Every structure is written in structure tokens, then in C-alpha cells.
Amino acid sequence: MSSDLAYYFTYAKIFSYYHQNPYLVSPASVFLGEASNFFSDYYWLDVPYLSGPLLLLITAVINFWLGQSFYLNVVALKLLYSLAFFLAGGLLLNLINWRKNPMAGLISILYFWNPFLIINTAGQGHPESLLVFLLLLALWFFVKKRYTLVGLCLNFAVAIKIFPLILLPLFGRALKEKSGSYRPHLKSIFFGSLLPFVLIWSLAAFYNFLPQSTTLAKLAQEPNDGLFISFFHPFFGLSSPVLVWLKWLGFLIFCAIYGFLFFHRFYSQGALPVLAKKFGLALLVFLIFVMYFIQSWYFVCLVPLFLVVGRRREIDWAFYLSFFNGLAYFILAKYYYAMILLLFLVPWFFILINIFDKGYEMAYSFTRLQRSIGFRKKR
């Protein structure tokens, strides 16, 4: 069983049963002896809650209604994540069928029969299925031109885990590209994105949310800590000054690529696949270059976004993300080698596929040319 289930149960218990703020206290300070005996193997024992307030509220409500039974809480969370998985799948099929994609059957298989997605959501109980549901719901509202609801869904996603925050500017940019100006959509942007964002994070700031900013800053000063930029994982044991510089370099690389995604227009595609592709690529670059502590199941959010795009290239990306992260999760050390596999093996697969494709095209063109020459000679 994943430690995530114990993690969310523990902080929900701190909030609903002990009536303390999990953003300010750690399990070790609340449970004392119980924590040292039961939670001794978990890295988050001395760390305050690091996820969003909406996820805390959901788990706290479950904990309040089902009591302190760990088994019942785990079953309820798994059922919730399974429901989110199937609802997200329904939205995915709806979006694909709306575009009359001829590869709808392949896309449905890559989602509903994907071991990487199934085990990490329904099996291991990671909350990324909630993020997937909210992101696909946002895209569905985007198709329906309910732009205020798009912003609300994205804000709810941010209130579960903070990193979907980088998608809000891309949503605003998509509105400008659709109509050539922000003015027709100022109301939607304000009520759908800015207002909920201000309300959620003002309340969170009151309760000292984002302790990770101070926690990570403290840990980053310690040599050989467990935090690292994913791309620079081989160097995570370096001394702190070098590690900090590597983290800044990763952040600058992310900013450069994000700026390109923000301003670039994919003219050959429709508005929906362009937005889904930008969402997926932005999250992928963020996980590679910015995320401090990468885990393979974070990539659960990316697979459906690339499947929504519906083109062969993005479907290949979804397959490779599932395959290599699944390999890292099931065979290797769950997350430590996930990015090494992605960064060094996946590009070579793409290169080989391109070589084979080009070779096939050249061979096909050559045979057609030979046939054409032979036909002319006969004449």
C-alpha cells in the first residue's frame, strides 16, 4: 500500500479529530509516542501538510464521517479516486468523440486499460485522479464555451496540489487567441480565475499555507538532502551551493520553455487540442526542471492530456510516459530513476521511430519512383 493513503489519513485526523492546523504542526508533534511507533518509516513525520486545502477538506470530511478506522478511510479514498478515474475517462471519450477522432478506440484502451493509471489511482490511492478529472472537466467546459467554469475547475485543481497553477496563464492566453483580445473574456477571467485564486490563497495564507516554501528552503541548505531538481537527480548528493545553482538553472530552463509555450501558436490544430497540448507540455517541463521531489505517479496527470490531443505523436507520448514511469514504479525505486529513464531512454525511442519512419518513407518513395521510371521505359 502507498504511504500516500497513510499521509492523507494522518493529516485529516490532525484536522478533524485533534482540531489542530496541519499546516502548522507535524504528525510527530501531535501523536508523540504513537507517531514514533506507527509512522517511524515515513519521511513526512516531522513535516507539516504540503498539499492543497481542498484535498485536506475532502479527506477531513471522510475522516469525520467514518471515524478513526484506518481501513474504512482507505477504502473510501480508493473508491473516491476510482470514481474520479472513471468520470475522467468519460470526459476523455466525450472530448474525443466530439472531435470525431478515428483513433478513439486506441485512446480508450490506453486510458481504461493502462496499468500505470489504474494502479496509481485506484490501487495505490494517489489523488492525481482528482486532478485529471478537474483538468479534463476544465477542457470540457472550454469546448462548451463556459469559460468561467474553466477557471473554477483550474482553481479547484490548484487547491488540491499547487503545481496546476502554471496552467491559469495558458488558459487566459487561449481565450485571447480565440477572439484576438482579452476584453471579451475579462469577466470570465476575473470570476473564474482571479477571484477564486485570491479567496483561496488569502484564506490559506491566513492559516500559513505554503509551509513548503520555508521547509524546502531549510532543507535546501543541508548537504545530501532528499530534495532535488528532477533533471539533475545524479547530482543530488552535491554540496548545497552547487545544488542551489542547479535548481536555479532548472527553473530558468522551465521559464524559457514556458514562455515559448505561452506565445507559440499551433495553427494546424483546433483550440481544444492546442490547449490540452500546452497544458501537458507545461506540466511535463515543470516536473522535469522545477519539481523538488519527483515521484513517478505525478505523470498520471499528463497521460490523459496528451490523449485528448488525439494525434499520433501525442498518443505516442502518452504511451511512453505510461510505460517508462510504470517501469520505474514497478521495477525500480518508484521515483528515483523515473526521470533518468525518461530523459535518456525515451528520446532515443523517438529518434529511432523517426529514423524508421523516414526510412520507410524514403523506401516507399524510391519504389514508386522506380516503378514510374520502369513504366515510362516500357512506353
Burial 285-306 (b: 16+ CB within 10 A, else e): bbbbbbbbbbbbbbbbbbbbbb
pTM: 0.80
Residue 226 DSSP class: S
Q: 254 or 42: which carries more pLDDT confidence?
A: 254
pLDDT at 238 over 80: no
* Residues in Cβ contact with 362 at an 8 Å cutoff, skipping those fewer than 6 apart: none
pLDDT at 234 over 60: no
Split at pLDDT 50, 70, 90, the class of 264 is: confident
pLDDT at 367 over 80: no
pLDDT tens column, 137-175: 999 999 998 988 898 899 889 888 888 888 988 998 888
Nearest in space to 120 (alpha carbons), one of 375, 374, 307, 302: 302
Averaged pLDDT, 344-350: 56
Averaged pLDDT, 4-12: 84
pLDDT tens column, 175-231: 888 776 667 667 777 766 666 666 555 555 444 444 444 444 444 444 333 333 444
* Residues in Cβ contact with 285 at an 8 Å cutoff, skipping those fewer than 6 apart: 253, 254, 257, 258, 261
Integer Cα distance of 127 and 161 in angstroms: 9
Averaged pLDDT, 363-367: 57
What single letter denotes the amino acid at residue 33? G
pLDDT tens column, 54-113: 888 899 999 888 887 888 888 999 999 999 999 999 999 999 988 788 888 889 988 999
Q: 95 or 46: which carries more pLDDT confidence?
A: 95
Judge contact between 50 and 163, C-beta under 8 A. no
pLDDT tens column, 12-36: 888 888 888 887 787 877 775 554 4
pLDDT at 233 over 50: no
- Position 59 scores a pLDDT of 92
Most confident of 42-51, 167-176, 286-295: 167-176
Judge contact between 54 and 160, C-beta under 8 A. yes
pLDDT tens column, 111-140: 999 988 988 888 788 889 999 999 999 999
Over the chain, what is the mean pLDDT?
Answer: 75
pLDDT tens column, 295-328: 778 889 999 999 999 888 888 888 888 887 777 6
Query: Domain-by-domain residue ranges, the chain?
Result: 1-68, 69-344
Nearest in space to 54 (alpha carbons), one of 212, 202, 160, 126: 160
* Residues in Cβ contact with 236 at an 8 Å cutoff, skipping those fewer than 6 apart: 224, 225, 226, 227, 228, 243
Window from 241-245, 249-253, 330-334 with minimum mean pLDDT: 330-334
Judge contact between 59 and 12, C-beta under 8 A. yes
Integer Cα distance of 82 and 88 in angstroms: 10
Percentage of the residues of the chain whose pLDDT score is greater than 90 = 19
Crossing angle (nearest 10°) for helices 302-309 and 271-289: 150
- Position 216 scores a pLDDT of 42
